[in-house]
């Protein structure tokens, strides 16, 4: 049986709309819930490529919606025995020091080998355990290393499928009461050496795997930075995320013309280069969501970045 596909051409007046809102507007006979399910199943395409709900559209894009398709049930991640570096653990939460190269949660092309697979192999006590992202309250890019906070405590459910810790940490993230600091090496010297970058971030309408500064349609985004050392034309920074947008530090640093060293997506790599982007989640500070005890956790630079920095500081690379 042939599948019915609605093909929608994006008009100039619709440029900049989110995909999900565009489809809901153009296909009012289909419920919003069904449209969201079709998009989540990655069977709605833009110009022939699977698309995500939040992607913004450009005039001339062709959106294809298989209106009578049955979205497949989402596959739950499976437990895998993958070593983890655990820097703190109690009955309510974990703090993991994630290595560079590890994806946080399963996604197309990364269905296994992720942090979520490793967590499921380590413990059965994860917040929101019956979901694709058990325990995950924030994330790091694949090539960014460092500290990640994970919710446990399913025995004290505060909402269907969620744990008390998961709910509390989520609210703390929204209230911005968790300090998240990164160590970054960027190109050039910042003027002023400390300050705030305040620029809205959204999906790049012309390169949808990237993010960009968007005056229209971007989400408010703030990054605070402080220079700790200038070394041979590159600056070592302590960077604090106030908001938590995708690729935020990398996009903001590039926007002020000081891209993260080694960032091949938002920068223009200049040799010598580190083995990956020089960005590490080095510090978490917060009051424990259940006990209220102040927590202060630090992760030193991993060997690959420390070795590169030492060689750069010594003029050996």
Flag whether 118 is in a domain: yes
Give the Cα separation of 57 and 313 in Å (integer). Answer: 45
DSSP 158: E
Q: Which pTM value belongs to this model?
A: 0.79
Rounded to the nearest integer, the mean pLDDT of the chain is 89
In a domain, 171, yes or no: yes
How confident is residue 278, by pLDDT bands cut at 50, 70 and 90? very high
Residue 1: pLDDT over 50: no
Over residues 36-74, the pLDDT tens digits come to 888 888 889 999 888 887 788 899 999 999 877 766 655
What value does the mean pLDDT take over residues 17-35?
A: 86
Q: Look at residue 146 in the predicted model and tell me its pLDDT.
A: 98
The predicted pLDDT at position 129 comes to 61
Q: What angle do CA 63, 66, 70 make, to 5 degrees?
A: 140
- Among residues 153, 175, 197, the one where a domain terminates is 175
Shared domain for 205 and 149, answered yes or no, is no
- Report pLDDT for 162: 62
Domain assignment present for 196: yes
What pLDDT was estimated at residue 2? 52
Of 175, 208, 241, which closes a domain? 175
Does one domain contain both 60 and 146? no
CATH number at 247 reads: 3.30.2350.10
Residues 210 and 235 both lie in one domain: yes
Domain identity same for 185 and 278:
yes
pLDDT higher than threshold 60 for residue 107: yes
In a domain, 294, yes or no: no
> Is 229 in contact with 238 (CB distance < 8 Å)?
no
When computed from its CA atoms, the radius of gyration of the chain, rounded to whole angstroms, is 21
DSSP three-state, residue 182:
strand
User: Could you confirm whether 263 is annotated as catalytic?
Assistant: no
Higher pLDDT, 209 or 296: 296
Task: Write out the two tokens for 8.
Answer: 């929608």
* Contact (CB, 8 A) for 283 and 299: yes
Q: How far apart are CA 24 and CA 170, in angstroms?
A: 28
Select which of 20, 97, 141, 263 is catalytic.
141
Q: What pLDDT is recorded for position 184? A: 98
Residue from 83, 93, 88, 119 nearest 104 by CA: 119
| CATH code of the domain in which 9 resides | 3.10.290.10
Question: How many domains does one find in the chain?
Answer: 3
The pLDDT of residue 166: 87
> What values do phi and psi take at 198, rounded to 5?
-125, 100
Is 134 part of any domain? Answer: yes
* pLDDT at residue number 269: 80
- The model's pLDDT over 147-190, given as tens digits with 9 standing for 90+, comes to 999 998 755 454 555 678 888 998 999 999 999 999 999 999 99
Q: Strands 201-203 and 45-46: what pairing?
A: unpaired
93 and 142 part of one domain: yes
Q: What is the pLDDT of residue 288?
A: 96
Q: Would the pLDDT of 216 be above 50?
A: yes
| Residue, of 304 and 268, whose pLDDT is higher | 304
255: in domain? yes
Q: Which domain holds residue 54?
A: 5-66
Same domain as 273, residue 200: yes
């Amino acid at each position: 049986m042939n599948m019915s596909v609605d093909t929608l051409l994006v008009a100039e007046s619709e440029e900049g709309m989110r995909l999900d809102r565009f489809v809901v507007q153009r296909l009012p006979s289909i419920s919003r819930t069904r449209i969201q399910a079709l998009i989540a199943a990655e069977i709605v395409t833009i110009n022939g490529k699977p698309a995500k709900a939040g992607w913004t559209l450009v005039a001339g894009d062709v959106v294809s919606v298989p209106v009578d398709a049955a979205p497949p049930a989402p596959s739950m991640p499976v437990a895998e025995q993958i070593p983890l570096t655990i820097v703190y653990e109690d009955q309510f939460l974990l703090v993991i020091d994630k290595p560079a190269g590890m994806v946080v949660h399963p996604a197309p092309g990364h269905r296994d080998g992720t942090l979520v697979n490793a967590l499921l192999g380590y413990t059965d006590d994860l917040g929101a355990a019956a979901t694709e992202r058990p325990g995950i309250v924030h994330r790091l890019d694949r090539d960014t290393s460092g500290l990640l906070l994970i919710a446990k405590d399913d025995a004290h459910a505060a909402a269907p499928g969620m744990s008390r810790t998961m709910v509390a940490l989520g609210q703390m993230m929204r209230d911005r009461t968790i300090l998240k600091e990164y160590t970054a090496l960027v190109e050039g010297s910042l003027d002023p050496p400390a300050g705030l970058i305040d620029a809205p971030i959204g999906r790049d309408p012309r390169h949808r795997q990237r993010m960009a500064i968007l005056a229209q349609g971007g989400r408010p985004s703030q990054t605070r930075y402080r220079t700790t050392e200038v070394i041979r034309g590159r600056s070592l920074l302590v960077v604090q995320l106030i908001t938590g947008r995708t690729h935020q530090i990398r996009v903001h640093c590039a926007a002020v013309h000081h891209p993260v060293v080694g960032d091949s997506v938002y920068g223009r790599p200049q040799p010598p280069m580190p083995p990956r982007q020089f960005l590490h989640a080095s510090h978490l500070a917060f009051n424990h969501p259940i006990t209220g005890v102040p927590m202060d956790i630090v992760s030193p630079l991993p060997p690959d970045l420390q070795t590169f920095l030492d060689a750069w500081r010594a003029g050996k690379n």
